[in-house]
Each structure stands twice: as C-alpha cells, then as structure tokens.
Structure 1
Amino acid sequence: MKRMLKKTIPLIFIMSLCSGSLQSQEVRPETGRIRVSVENLRSSRGFVGIALFNAKKGFPDKPERAIDGRSIKAGDSCEIVFDNVPYGTYAISVLHDENGNRKMDKNIIGIPKEGFGTSNNPKIRRGPPTYEDSQVHLDRRELALEIDMNYF
C-alpha cells in the first residue's frame, strides 16, 4: 500500500500541475501585421493620417470610428505599420492633410481639396470609395499594401 501511494501521489501532483496550466492558457486569435505604403503624395507639407477600419460604419471619413489610426509627417512617400492585428477583414483610408487642420478640406460643391486614398485603390466614381470596394483580408503574418493618393 505504501509503495502504491509513493507512486500515486507524485502522479496526481504532476497531473494537477498540467491541468492547471492548461486551464490558465488563453486562446488568442492569430494576429498579423499590416504594412501600408502611401505613394504619390503631392507635397511634403502637412501630415498623412491613416485609419484602419473593421466595419463600414464611419469609413472612409470618420477616423474616430476606426479601430486604429496614425498620423505622420508627410514626405515623398510614407509607411505606417499596424502590428498585432487579429486576422480578419479591414479597410484603410488615408488623408493627406496638407494644411494640418485634421480634417479633409472640400470645395463649395464637396470635392476634396486634399489628397485621399483607400486600400485596394478602387476607381473613384461619384462619392467616396465604399468599405466593400476597399476591403482587404488579413490571413497571414504580414500584409503589405500600397495606397495611391488621389487629388482633384
């Protein structure tokens, strides 16, 4: 009996340690990186704002509805990286805020005076690009995107 207890007690102890560590492990969603290069900036004046959206609400011109956003000094071209982004579907909007007022300036009939772009570089028709036309799918460790700016 003593001999059986000597073998059983360490086995129970080891099993309890293993089961505790399995319970404490979180299941984390797979994440990746979205690397955004912005090309064809008209000037190096002002800032470039980039917003990452995971839903159509607010896209493309309400950055406060984005799940992440960045602003960097404008240059000939710019690059911004979004790290630890859960795999899924997203759309990205870009604004070249040349005068630094943190909004897109438009003329009297609503046409943008400053540069803009979205992921997938959809053709610009009437109105802003849609979330559906700008969707990209992150399903790997890194997704590299190049967004071309549009100026009118």
Structure 2
Amino acid sequence: MPRGKAAKISACLSIRWLTVFPAAVLLIALAGIAGASADVVAPPRVAVSETGTLRVVIDGTEPGTGTVRVNLYASAGSFLRVEDAQAKVEVGEDGTPEVTFESLSAGRYAVVAYHDLNGNAELDRGFLGVPLEPLGFSNDALPVLSAPAFADAAFMNSDGDDEIRIILRYLGGGRPAGS
C-alpha cells in the first residue's frame, strides 16, 4: 500500500475514534445511571405564579368625609355581583384616598369605587335605583341607563406594579364629587 494512502486511512480512523469515543463513554455512563438505585428522582416542577400590585387612586372625594369602598372584579361573571377583592379607606383631609391590591395575577380586571358618605357600608340609591353617593368605574366607564359592562370597565393588569385612577361622580349630575 502506498504511504499516502495508509496515512489517509490512519487519519480517517483517528477521526472516527474521536467521534465514536465520546458517544461510547456517554452510553456507558447512561448504562451505569440506569442500573443505579431507584431512589434517584428528578426534582418536581414547581409552577411559579408571577403576581403584582394594583394601586387605585381615587379622585373626586369630599375631603375629610366618609369612607371610600373599592371593589375589584376579575371576570364578567362576577362583575357587580361578587367582589373578588375589597378594600376601604377613610377619606383624609387631602381628599385623595388610595388603596393597593397585592398579589394579583396578570390579567383583566375592573374596579368600582364609591364614597360611602353616611358610613352604612352600602351604596345608597334613590328613585329607580340611581346611586345617591359618588360612584366611579375603572377606565372612567360611565353608566348609561344601567351600569357599564365589564368590558367597558376592564383593564389589563401586569405582573408588576400598576396604577389606575378612578373619578367619583354623582351620577344624577355627572359632575365629579368634591367639585
């Protein structure tokens, strides 16, 4: 055999050996692991849920009077029926109360707030159910003959720190309360 051809065969075998050797070592190692004790278990997967906060700033209150009640809704099915979260805050002399909802998952929410002027923990209503106390919805959704739909008041909350503002209004006159 000519010397050049033998060198090519030798080089080819060396390259094949370098390619096959790591694969063989890996197979041997895997065979050893497969024969190991059954006590070796992969760690369980843990679902990580990202949450954030929502700060709600209320405009249009009368300073130093009553309590603002804030209701948070997470779906159209619960909207204005069953609150997913509630908060209340006394109106201070600055007249701009705020509440913070913590540990909220990212998603669509709607917020309704009202100024409970007489402290009875209810939104007082007059003739035909028209609210007598200042009321506001997220997205500044305004009622027209009935309460706005969830879709009108809904906003996206991230898994970070978000803030929305709600303007309270006397619905009979449409003017912001406190003005």
Q: TM-score when scaled to structure 2?
A: 0.68
For 1:58 and 1:96, locate their aligned partners in 2 and report how far apart those are by CA, in whole Å.
Answer: 21
1:142 aligns with 161
Contact 2:104–2:159 (CA under 8 A) maintained in structure 1: no
What RMSD over aligned residues (CA atoms) do the two structures have, in Å? 2.3
Structure 2 counterparts to residues 47-126 of structure 1, below 5 A? 47-60=67-80, 62=81, 65-75=82-92, 76-126=95-145
Cα deviations across residues 11-36 of structure 1 (Å, max 9, x unaligned)? x79x948x33xx1x521222111110
Contact 2:78–2:84 (CA under 8 A) maintained in structure 1: no
1:32 aligns with 52
Number of corresponding residues:
136
2:28 aligns with none
5+ residue gaps, structure 1? 1-7
2:3 aligns with none
Larger CA Rg, structure 1 vs 2: 2
Cα deviations across residues 45-85 of structure 1 (Å, max 9, x unaligned)? 2211111111123423x4xx111111111230111111110
1:132 aligns with 151
5+ residue gaps, structure 2? 1-31, 173-179
For 1:44 and 1:57, locate their aligned partners in 2 and report how far apart those are by CA, in whole Å.
Answer: 35
| Higher normalized strand content (fraction of residues) | 1
Displaced runs of 4 or more, over 4 A? none
For 2:78 and 2:145, locate their aligned partners in 1 and report how far apart those are by CA, in whole Å.
Answer: 18
For 2:53 and 2:145, locate their aligned partners in 1 and report how far apart those are by CA, in whole Å.
Answer: 32
Identity of matched residues, %: 24
Q: TM-score when scaled to structure 1?
A: 0.78
Alpha-carbon shift at residue 124 of structure 1 (Å)? 3.3
